[in-house]
Amino acid sequence: MRNRLQQLRRPLRAAVVPRAKAVLKEPKTPLLSPEAAKKKAAEEKAKAALMLRFSNENSYLNWARNGVLSSGVGVAMYAQEHHRGAQLSGAGLLLLGFGYIGVGSFKYMFYIWRFRKVMATSWPSVIASCSHAAIALGIWLTATASFLESIPLEMDVLLLEEPFIQYLPSRIAQGLIQTYNLQQDEYDAQQQQYGSPPPSVGGRPIDDDE
């Protein structure tokens, strides 16, 4: 009896009922019909092809931009005749510009032809894109060959020797050969006029007007 009274005098503790842990239910993805699944796969494939095409075009534009900038700086340096070695530096930058534009153009055309199925590109689009890159490269080569007609004779002779002439494009090599022949004809005409090598100052022949 005494033990029972002692148990009643003790404060009663509230029974703690363990709470059930909240379980997050993941949203169920609705099942697509076969037609809807095919349509979604086709859209993702077309999107991937478009992104690959844009990536190839951006890469080509970066190569071409670097080539044009290098060529512009090379032309500007080539025009600085009062600086020693400026013409050689300008010719080197022009060669660097050809490397940028040439590599970018060939890389662009190769990727279009190699991954034409992945890019979902038709043959007319492939031909048009490759023609665009080839025409741009041809315009750059023509402009460079026309500019190099005023190249000094010593540099002309250096570029026409082996092994440099092997790595030059045919259009530029023909322009250098024509420039060399024209300068040689002028030199022979002046030599016949004076009866001896024409007078020169600093290696440059003096004209009658001077």
Question: Residue type for 167, please?
Answer: Y
The reported pLDDT for the residue numbered 67 is: 92
pLDDT in tens, 50-76: 898 899 999 999 999 999 999 888 888
Tokens 């092997």 — which residue? Answer: 166
Question: Residue type for 59, please?
Answer: S
Verdict on whether the full-model pTM lies above 0.95: no
- DSSP 8-class letter at 205: E
- Asked if residue 199 has a cis previous peptide bond (ω within 30° of 0), the answer is no
Q: Which residues of the chain have pLDDT under 70?
A: 1-32, 81, 148-162, 164-165, 167-169, 171-172, 175, 183, 187, 190, 193-210
- Interior/surface letters 128-156, b for 16+ CB within 10 angstroms, e for the rest: ebbeebeebbeebbeebbebbeebbeeeb
Angle in degrees, 0-180, between the axes of helices 170-194 and 123-147, rounded to the nearest 10? 20
The reported pLDDT for the residue numbered 169 is: 67
The reported pLDDT for the residue numbered 210 is: 44
The reported pLDDT for the residue numbered 110 is: 92
Going through the chain in order, the beta strands assigned E by DSSP cover 200-201, 204-205
pLDDT in tens, 28-46: 556 667 777 777 787 888 8
The reported pLDDT for the residue numbered 201 is: 42
